[in-house]
Structure 1
Amino acid sequence: MRLVPPPLWALLLLAVTYFLSLAPALDTLPVWQTRPIGLIVIVAALALMFWAIFQFRRADTQLLPNSETNNALVTNGVFAITRNPMYLGMVIFCIGGALWFGRPFMLLAPVLMFAVANFVFIPFEEAKMRRQFGEVFDAYTKRVRRWI
């Protein structure tokens, strides 16, 4: 199912939108204003993703949802707020990248990352989780939203 892992999608989308934003007709924002905000947003995104990774490790289960050796459905901590903290972190990371470079056109990257995650990766992963964890996963999806 996955040719390009989701984190690489986020970086690829940032790179493509950055190079497209170099067109002379596209505006830029003063980076002295946007760079500190971008850094804060990037750090927050990384913290969210590492929090999720920490919870997977603590539950002694696999990080990759398509792994056959997943042995636990993590529903506490950040997973009690969003079912997809890793993807949410990637979208937020893309927002931070756009702010860091001060290029409004790059705000297309988080929109595209959201679309790829929401319509390609998440449905595939949720179908796998539903097969593996059944009613427990269904109850979790009723309790916790896909994003926030």
Structure 2
Amino acid sequence: MKKLIPPMLFLICIISMIVIKSLVVFKEIIPQPFNYLGIVPVVIGALMMMVVSKIFNKVNTEIHTFRKPRRLVTDGLFKISRNPIYLGFAIMLVGVWVLLGTLLPVIGCLVFVVIANLWYIPYEERMMEQTFGSEYLTYKTKVRRWL
């Protein structure tokens, strides 16, 4: 599972959502042009991830899920979410779902959130606890996992 990094899972989820919409004819729940509102969460999620990536580069810490972090980041978006990158991916997937306009592609959103919540985030939290100890545990009590 360490080879399946979150951006790859994100892409797999998007592709799956598009395939589901293409293969399974299902009633449209968000008709055109209202489905174009999905662009808003896609942009918001992408901006969130770009901001976090910039912060990680600035403080010279690791963004890769399976590599040891060099610094605990608690500023910016990390004041409202311990996982703003996963939140950004999830928001973008919701945007893609809205753009697709049918119900079944929501499965891609759910798959990403479940895997992130059950695999990636617990792995990262263990690593953060081992690396930063009580500093991370204190931070963890102050900021929620998602929002």
TM-score (norm 2): 0.92
| Matches of 1:66 and 1:23, distance apart in 2 | 34
| Matches of 1:8 and 1:48, distance apart in 2 | 18
Matching residue's letter, 2:101: G
| Matches of 1:112 and 1:64, distance apart in 2 | 20
Name the structure 2 match of 1:54: 54
Name the structure 2 match of 1:19: 19
| Matches of 1:66 and 1:134, distance apart in 2 | 18
| Matches of 1:83 and 1:60, distance apart in 2 | 18
Name the structure 1 match of 2:123: 124
Do structure 1's residue 146 and structure 2's residue 145 form an aligned pair? yes
TM-score (norm 1): 0.91
Q: Which structure 1 segments of 5+ residues have no match? A: none
Q: How many residue pairs end up in the alignment?
A: 146
Matching residue's letter, 2:111: L
Name the structure 1 match of 2:31: 30
Do structure 1's residue 9 and structure 2's residue 4 form an aligned pair? no
| Matches of 2:109 and 2:24, distance apart in 1 | 22
Do structure 1's residue 64 and structure 2's residue 64 form an aligned pair? yes
Q: Which structure 2 segments of 5+ residues have no match? A: none
More moved, 13-22 vs 37-46: 13-22
Q: Give me the identity figure in percent.
A: 27
SS at match of 1:97: helix
What value does the CA root-mean-square deviation take over the aligned residues?
1.4
